[in-house]
Amino acid sequence: MSKKFSNLLRGYVIRPKASISISGLGGFKSFLKEKSRTFFVIAFLTPFLAALTIMYGLPCALSVLMSFTDMGLSFELHFLNPLLKNYYTIFHVADPRVPVVAQTTILYVGCTLLINAGFSLVLGVLTAYCIRNENVASVLRLLWFLPRMTPVIIYALLWLWFTDPTYGPLSIVSSWIGLKGVRWLLDKPYSQLLMILVNGYIGASWGMVIYVSSIKTIPLEIIYAAKADGATDWDVIRRIILPLLKWPILFVTSWQTLSLLGSYVEILAIWDGYSYTSGVEVWSLFTYHTAFEGYRFGYSAALAIIMATIALILVAIYFKVFGFKRMLEPSRIEV
Amino acid sequence: MVRVKLEHLTKRFGKVVAVNDLNLEIKDGEFMALLGPSGCGKTTTMLMIAGIYKPTKGHVYFNDVCVDDLPPKDRNVGMVFQSYALYPHMKVFDNIAFPLKLKKLPKDEIREKVKKVADFLEIGHLLDRKPAQLSGGQMQRVALARALVKEPDIFLMDEPLSNLDAKLRVVMRAEIKRLQKRLGITTIYVTHDQVEAMTMADRIAVLREGILQQCAVPDELYLKPRNMFVGGFIGSPPMNFLDCSLVEENHEHYLDLGVFKLWIPPDIADLIMKNASGSELVFGIRPEDLKVTLTLPPEAKEAGQKSKIQAIRSEIYVLEPLGKDVIINTKLGDTLVKVVAPPTIRPSVGETIWLNFDLDKMHVFDKKTELAVI
Amino acid sequence: MRTAEGYRKLIWKAKIRWLIGNIIVYSIVCIPLVPIILMYGWLIAQAFSGVCISSLIPQKLTLDNFYFLTGPIYWGGTPLYKSYWPLVRNTLLLALGTTGLVVAITSLAGYAISRFEFKGRDPLLKSVVVVHSIPGVLFLIALMYVLNTIGLYGKGFLTLLSVIIIKAGLESPMYTWMLKGFFDSVPWELEWAALVDGCSRFAAWRKVVMPLIFPGIAAVSIFAFLSGWGEYLLVLTYITDRKWYTLSLALSELTYQFKHVDYGMLAAFSLLYLLPAMVFFLLTQKYLMTMRIVAYKG
């Protein structure tokens, strides 16, 4: 390059720099800062957003599509005519199993909720307030946590033994009280009672923890004041603790309802193929069986979409009732 | 009305001894203050009287009946806490009515009693509000109302004025005292503020690390403190302490304070020699008992000479003007001594003044045991 | 009420009430625990018993039930599992892989969500709550299609890898939520000081904030590991190659074959499967219990 030309070029490079005024320089710097900040945010969030899209967003969209097909083992997206044929089948009760499954699900959610939201409240209050020795209370809470912390297949084995017709304590004890010959796993309504208990043991600890942490935020002096005012322990529970737990109770109930709608692993692990005949086939399990044992992916997608829709409606209601802030801190006491 | 007796009362939390062998008697209708720094066991004692804590050792007596196993709800105590402990989910009316509702009184009676107490404490217009909508002073009155409405035998208050601003505190001090005098309820008042205790109580029990230091009427605590802790705790600014020892020279006794010597009469010297455990002593004099003069006054003699009032010269270190007094800080040797002087004396820093010690007002303590020797 | 007699009556009543109260409280809390204690106690007792037992008392003490540690497990004449140890390896892979991935994703995302005010932050948080409420079976079905289409279904190790990724992806939103709380509690001034001292944003995150978040990371790791260790549904649904079964899948198959027949071996197998998780959990539980467990899906 000739010297003249390079000087010319240098002039072009230098001059723009020199022509940036002081204030402009500041503006340029903050522009860079903004850009780097955005870049930073995006970089940090990318894996998370990828997970959200691929694991959640994509399957949702796919499921909707699949529900309009009669997809089977061939995994072909062969759209149905009419598109909503799967849904008609479900709602017009063309599949006789659907109403049975629906009933089972309502029974399951309703009754297990009593344990997961109700009995867990009892456990929470008793271990956080009534039992004064903190060491004893922690040990008891830990024991209640065992089912939740156990791998589900081991938990299933334990119950299989427990209800074993020959070796299981439950069968032995029930024969003493006149229920001889009852097959706890297979005979309704015993199997259904079992289904509720099995899930109850797991669900109780979650609510219990939330309630315990809520109760522990109640200032001790309020309890002292109540006692000096003439309250027995029962009065304190009824008039002070429970009213203050209003929002946590509502939160646990709401969230457990949602959670129970989608839970089925324990039932699957224990009952496996016998779940329908034992009357413990809940909607999610029915969906699973339809997909992975019946290989009817399209139909099962429709079943799943229906359940998802119900769940989304519930979540929308919860957002309205609780407001987003309260959902972030379920244990917080407020008046 | 109820007499309270605490006998060998001890409370242990694990390894920590919060209250150690406390023996105290509170007369019927008396206003007794439990005074001491934080962590001295005063709140724990109060909670044991209320029945919320069970004593590890010892007993609590109401009218000579042992109530150790009596639950709080049967003790008929009214409690006011530092944080007021109002029930946040109830309106003011329900807060005050709570003790009565628990007793299952008829609704009309409850309404009547609540209204009476609320009017008495001038919060009748707040009955529909919730605690979150009240100011500190209002919350305190609600707490008082709730404690009063059940006509308790004993009134227990745990630093109820600590969370109020200074002005309100002074007003409420007088209010509570007046209230107590009018209703005549046996009251136990826990505080760390000696001004509160001195102005309000009939008797004060001074506690330190769970041990009772002295229990007496305010004047006695002020004039005749039993040990260095009480001497230093009561009175503001606190008592000046100077190390000293008893010496004898030419058949006369002196207190050697290092920088100077003070002559003491033989009867006081005898008392010191009888009560002290060794020769190491601590000389105590209150700032308000020291007189500051610019020249040696006629009734005083220089320190070391036979006189009731002895004075030494000292240089002013710092001045703290308070308007109604001025606190003069001077250094005697290594010790900073504070003197309260009337505002008419206007010395300046660096100036030399005469510190006048009146032997009638002095306190001598044993350095090892910290007990008062005279 | 102020007479000595009155006080004595009240004390007597109070003592009775205390006794009855305690009986009721402990009954309610402990009686339902009896089956649980029975079951877990049985697991230990049965593992060392030569016959099937119905109580906590072991009979015919033996170590034979643990034969699978050194030899194949037979059913009929055919070996169901040639060796125990690949199962352990696979389970560990799943557990550790999920944990590593989860910690990576959530520590980055939790920080960003906690620290930065960006457009779409609230909707993002809300969407986490929303997707978490959709029944899981929906994702299982759709992801089956995805796996099949990509060609990762039934491909042995690759399928296991996919399971790891899927599991990490599904659990990340919840753990991000947890970690966000921890990030929120770190005072902003600390990073500001680091930035003023010349750190880049990334270095500030790495050197200043992350060490303080350690309890949170530890909690997330513990939960993720335990979750991966016990994972059953995903492996059941997606993994078909026996060489890549995990302990949970193997146990499920063995239970199906051997229940009513050989509880001893099943108990021994389960005990060894359970023990690491239980020990791990017990060692860290005090740590975990103090944390605000907002949404641990059971």
A6, pLDDT greater than 60? no
Q: State phi, psi for B300 to the nearest 5 degrees.
A: -105, 155
pLDDT of A105 > 90? The answer is yes
The third-level CATH classification (topology) of the domain covering B240-366 is: OB fold (Dihydrolipoamide Acetyltransferase, E2P) (2.40.50)
Amino acid making up residue B239? M
Q: Does C69 contact chain B (CB < 8 Å)?
A: no
pLDDT above 90: percentage of residues in chain B: 56
Task: Quote the mean pLDDT of chain A.
Answer: 85
What do you get for the CA distance between the two ends of chain C, in Å? 53
Nearest to C25 among A126, A154, A158 (CB): A126
DSSP letter at A57 equals I
Annotated domain spans of chain B:
4-233, 240-366
Q: Chain C residues with CB inside 8 Å of A71's CB?
A: 145
- pLDDT (mean) for C183-212: 79
Residue C125, CA atoms < 13 Å, CB-side half-sphere: 21
Residues of chain A positioned with their CB less than 8 A from the CB of B44:
none
A216: chain C residues, CB-CB within 8 Å: none
A3-17, A227-241, B300-314, range with the lowest pLDDT: A3-17
- Is the Cβ pair A224, B79 closer than 8 Å? yes
Any CB–CB contact under 8 A between B150 and chain A? yes
CB contact under 8 A, B132 and A335: yes
pLDDT value at residue B252: 85
Q: Which residues of B touch C14 (CB under 8 A)?
A: 69-71, 74
Q: Chain A contact for C257, CB < 8 A? A: no
- Measured between beta carbons, which residues in chain A are less than 8 angstroms from residue B14? none
> For residue A154, which residues of chain C lie inside 8 Å, CB to CB?
43, 230, 251, 270, 273-274
According to DSSP, residue A2 is labeled -
- As a whole-number percent, the residues of chain C with pLDDT over 90 amount to 37
Which residues of chain C lie closer than 8 angstroms to B153, CB-CB?
2
What is the DSSP pairing of strand B57-62 with strand B203-208? unpaired
Residue C2 touches partner B, C-beta closer than 8 Å: yes
Question: Does the beta-carbon distance from B87 to A227 stay under 8 Å?
Answer: no
Distances (CA, A) of B315 to A154, B255, B353, C49: 85, 21, 6, 92
SS3 A69: strand
A63 contacts in C (CB within 8 Å)? 138, 141-142
Neighbouring chains of A at 3+ CB pairs under 8 Å are: B, C
DSSP string of C19-83? HHHHHHHHHHHHTTHHHHHHHHHHHHHHHTBSS--SSSS--SB-SGGGGGGTSPEEETTEEEES-
Query: How much is the ipTM here?
Result: 0.88
pLDDT of residue C272: 92
The letter for the amino acid at B203 is R
Q: In this complex, is the C-beta atom of B79 within 8 Å of any C-beta atom belonging to chain A?
A: yes
- Nearest CB to B72; choose among A221, A222, A228: A228
Query: Count of CB contacts below 8 A, A vs C?
Result: 273
Asked if B230 and B213 touch (Cβ cutoff 8 Å), the reply is yes
Residue A81, helix vs strand vs coil: coil
Neighbours of chain B (3+ CB pairs under 8 A): A, C
Q: Tell me, what's the pLDDT at C53? A: 83
Q: What is the 3-state secondary structure (H, E, C) of chain B?
A: CCCEEEEEEEEEECCEEEEEEEEEEECCCCEEEEECCCCCCHHHHHHHHHCCCCCCEEEEEECCEECCCCCHHHCCEEEECCCCCCCCCCCHHHHHHHHHHHCCCCHHHHHHHHHHHHHHCCCHHHCCCCHHHCCHHHHHHHHHHHHHCCCCCEEEEECCCCCCCHHHHHHHHHHHHHHHHHHCCEEEEEECCHHHHHHHCCEEEEEECCEEEEEECHHHHHHCCCEHHHHHHCCCCCCEEEEEEEEEECCEEEEECCCCEEEECHHHHHHHHHHCCCCEEEEEECHHHCEEECCCCCCEEECCCCCCEEEEEEEEEEEEECCCCEEEEEEECCEEEEEEECCCCCCCCCCEEEEEEEHHHCEEEECCCCEECC
**Å between C243 CA and nearest CA of chain B:** 56
| Chain C environment of A210 (Cβ under 8 Å) | 293
Q: Which residues contact C37 (CB under 8 A, 6 or more apart)?
A: A143
Inter-residue contact A228 to B79 (CB < 8 Å): yes
What is the distance between the alpha carbons of residues B65 and C3, in angstroms, rounded to a whole number?
8
| Residue C175 three-state SS | helix
DSSP bridge pairs for B191: B35
Compute the distance between CA of residue C252 and CA of residue A269 in angstroms, rounded to an integer.
Answer: 8
CA distance B69 to chain C (A): 6
Measure CB to CB from residue C141 to each of A148, A166, A304 and give the nearest one: A304
B59-63, B199-203, B270-274: the lowest-pLDDT one: B270-274
Question: For A21-25, A125-129, A289-293, which range has the lowest pLDDT when averaged over its residues?
Answer: A21-25
Taking CA–CA distances from B71, the nearest residue in chain C reads C14
User: Quick check: C162 contacting A, CB < 8 Å?
Assistant: no
C residues 6-25 closer than 8 Å to B (CB)? 7-8, 10-11, 14-15
Residue of chain B nearest A246, judged by CA positions? B89
Domains of chain A, by residue range, sit at 3-67, 85-328
Q: Where are the strands (E) in chain A, listed by range?
A: none
pLDDT at residue A28, rounded to an integer: 60
Query: What is the amino acid identity at position B114?
Result: V
CB contact under 8 A, C252 and A258: no
Q: What is the mean predicted confidence (pLDDT) over C241-259? A: 89
Q: What is the pLDDT of residues B90-108, one digit of tens each?
A: 999 999 999 999 999 999 9
Q: pTM value?
A: 0.86
Name the band, by pLDDT with cuts 50, 70 and 90, for residue C112. Answer: confident
Q: Which residues of C touch B62 (CB under 8 A)?
A: 2, 7
Rounded mean pLDDT of C64-91? 83
Could you say which DSSP state residue A20 is in? S
Cβ–Cβ below 8 Å for A224 and B99 = no
Average pLDDT over residues C216-222: 86
Q: Per-residue pLDDT for C220 more than 60?
A: yes
Q: For chain C, state the CA radius of gyration.
A: 26
C neighbour chains, 3+ CB pairs within 8 Å: A, B
- Cβ of C136 and A311 within 8 Å? no
**DSSP secondary structure of A180-202:** TT--TTTSTTHHHHHHHHHHHHH
The per-residue pLDDT for B302 is 83
Distance, CA of B226 to CA of B213 (rounded, Å): 7
Cα(B174)–Cα(B199) distance, integer angstroms: 9
Residue A14 has pLDDT above 60, yes or no: no
Q: Answer with the residue of higher pLDDT: A77 or A318.
A: A318
Contact C30/B at CB under 8 A: no
Q: Scanning every residue of chain C, which has its alpha carbon at the shortest distance from the alpha carbon of B154? A: C2
Question: What is the arithmetic mean of pLDDT over A269-296?
Answer: 91
Closest residue to B50, CB basis, from A228, A239, A244? A228
Q: Which of B96, B102, B133, B146 should we substitute to test contact with A (largest number of A Cβ atoms within 10 Å)? A: B102
For residue A245, is pLDDT > 50? yes
Q: Which of A131-135, A168-172, C236-240, C290-294 has the lowest mean pLDDT?
A: C290-294
Q: Crossing angle, helix C33-47 and helix C263-289, to 10 degrees? A: 130
Neighbours of B353 (CB within 10 A): 22
Chain A partners within 8 Å of C264 (Cβ):
none
| C-alpha to C-alpha distances, A251 to A105, A117, A259, C39, C129, nearest whole angstrom | 21, 9, 12, 32, 13
pLDDT band (50, 70, 90) for residue B7: very high
What number of CA atoms fall less than 13 Å from residue A15's CA on the CB side? Answer: 6
Residue C63 pLDDT? 86
What is the 3-state secondary structure of A243-277?
HHCHHHHHHHHHHHHHHHHCCCHHHHHHHHHHCCC
Q: How distant is the Cα of A251 from the closest Cα of chain B, in angstroms?
A: 18
CATH among 3.30.70.3040, 3.40.50.300, 3.10.20.30, 3.20.20.70 for B4-233: 3.40.50.300
Q: Do A66 and C145 touch (CB under 8 A)?
A: yes
Contact B161, B173 (CB under 8 A): yes
Q: Is the pLDDT score of A137 beyond 90?
A: yes
- Per-residue confidence at A167, pLDDT binned at 50, 70, 90? confident
Edge-to-edge strands, sheet with B252-256: B261-264, B252-256, B240-249, B280-285, B363-366
Chain A residues whose CB is inside 8 A of the B102 CB are 229-231, 235
CA distance B173 to chain A (A): 22
Q: What is the CATH number of domain A85-328?
A: 1.10.3720.10
pLDDT level of residue B295 (50, 70, 90 thresholds):
confident
Query: Which chain C positions have a beta carbon within 8 Å of A208's beta carbon?
Result: none
**Interchain proximity B146–A229, CB inside 8 Å:** yes
Which residues of chain A does C141 touch, with a Cβ-Cβ cutoff of 8 Å? 59, 63, 66, 287, 291, 297, 300-301, 304
Q: B230 pLDDT exceeds 50?
A: yes
Residue B125 has a pLDDT of 92
The helix/strand/coil state of A79 is: strand
Nearest residue of C to residue B69, measured between CA atoms: C11
